[in-house]
Amino acid sequence: MSKKTYERPYIQQLNTGSMNKFGTRTEFGPVDHIDNVPVKGLIAEYGSPLFVISERTIRSTYKNALRSFKTRYPKVQFAWSYKTNYINAVCNVFHQEGSWAEVVSIFEYQKAIRNGVPGDKIIFNGPEKSKTDLMLAVDNNSLIHIDHFDELYTLSELLEGGSKKARVAIRMNMDTGVYPMWDRFGFNYESGQAWNAINKIMSHDEMVLEGLHCHIGTYMLSANAYAIAAWKLCDLIGHTKLKWNHVIKYIDMGGGFASANTLKGSYLQGADIIPSFDDYAEAITSTILNFGFKKEDLPLLILETGRAMIDDAGYLLGSVIANKTLSDGRRATIFDFGVNILFTAFWYNHKISPAQYFSHHTEETVCYGPLCMNIDVVNDNISLPLLNQGDNVVVHRVGAYNMTQWMQFIQMRPKVVLIDMKGEVHIIRENETVDTIEAPERKPEHLSTFVL
Find the shortest distance in angstroms from Cβ 393 to ligand PLP.
25
Site membership for ligand PLP, residue 413 (CB under 6 A): no
By CB under 6 A, tell whether 399 contacts ligand PLP.
Answer: no
> Minimum CB separation from ligand PLP for residue 222, in Å?
14
| Least distance from ligand PLP to the Cβ atom of residue 144, Å | 13
CB closer to ligand PLP out of 87 and 334: 87
Smallest distance, ligand PLP to C-beta of residue 130, A: 18
Task: Report, in Å, the least distance between residue 171 CB and ligand PLP.
Answer: 7
Member of 53, 104, 152, 317 binding ligand PLP (CB under 6 A): 104
Residue nearest to ligand PLP (CB): 255
* Site membership for ligand PLP, residue 218 (CB under 6 A): yes
CB of 292 to ligand PLP, least distance (A): 27
Which residues are within 8 A (CB) of 166 and not within 5 positions of it... i.e. 6 or more apart? 134, 137, 138, 144, 155, 159, 206, 207, 208
Contacts with ligand PLP in 231-270 (CB under 6 A)?
A: 254-257
**Position among 111, 167, 215, 429 found at the interface with ligand PLP (CB under 6 A):** 215
Q: Which of residues 20-79 bind ligand PLP (CB under 6 A)?
A: none
Binding mask 344-383 for ligand PLP (x = CB under 6 A): ----------------------------------------
CB nearer ligand PLP, residue 58 or residue 159: 58
CB atoms under 10 Å from CB of 14, counted, come to: 10
Four-residue CA torsion sign, 289, 295, 297, 299? positive
| Nearer to ligand PLP (CB atom), residue 198 or residue 216 | 216
Binding letters toward ligand PLP, positions 68-87, x by CB under 6 A: -------------x-xx---
**Whole-angstrom distance, CA of residue 145 vs CA of residue 148:** 10
Nearer to ligand PLP (CB atom), residue 84 or residue 411: 84
Comparing CB distances to ligand PLP, the nearer of 254 and 370 is 254
> Which one, 277 or 358, has the nearer CB to ligand PLP?
277
Name the residue among 173, 169, 118 with its Cα closest to residue 144.
Answer: 169
Q: Which amino acid is at 398?
A: V
Footprint on residues 276-335 left by ligand PLP (CB under 6 A): 304-307
Task: Pick between residue 95 and residue 415 the one whose CB is nearest to ligand PLP.
Answer: 95
- Write phi, then psi, for 98 (nearest 5 degrees): 115, 5
Nearer to ligand PLP, 302 or 384 (CB): 302
Nearer to ligand PLP, 112 or 387 (CB): 112
Binders of ligand PLP among residues 114 to 153 (CB under 6 A) are 125
Question: Cβ distance 136 to 112 under 8 Å?
Answer: no
Q: Which is nearer to ligand PLP, 377 or 403 (CB)?
A: 403
435 neighbors 425 (Cβ within 8 angstroms): no
What is the smallest separation between the CB atom of 180 and ligand PLP, expressed in angstroms?
A: 16
Tell me the closest approach of the beta carbon of residue 304 to ligand PLP, in angstroms: 4
How far apart (Å, rounded) are the C-alpha atoms in residues 388 and 322? 7
Q: Which of 35, 55, 102, 108 touches ligand PLP by CB under 6 A?
A: 102
Pairwise CA distance, residues 240 & 249, whole Å: 11
> How many binding residues for ligand PLP (CB under 6 A)?
17
Nearest CB to ligand PLP, comparing residues 81 and 261: 81
Write out the residues near ligand PLP by the rule CB under 6 A.
81, 83-84, 102, 104, 125, 215, 218, 254-257, 304-307, 400
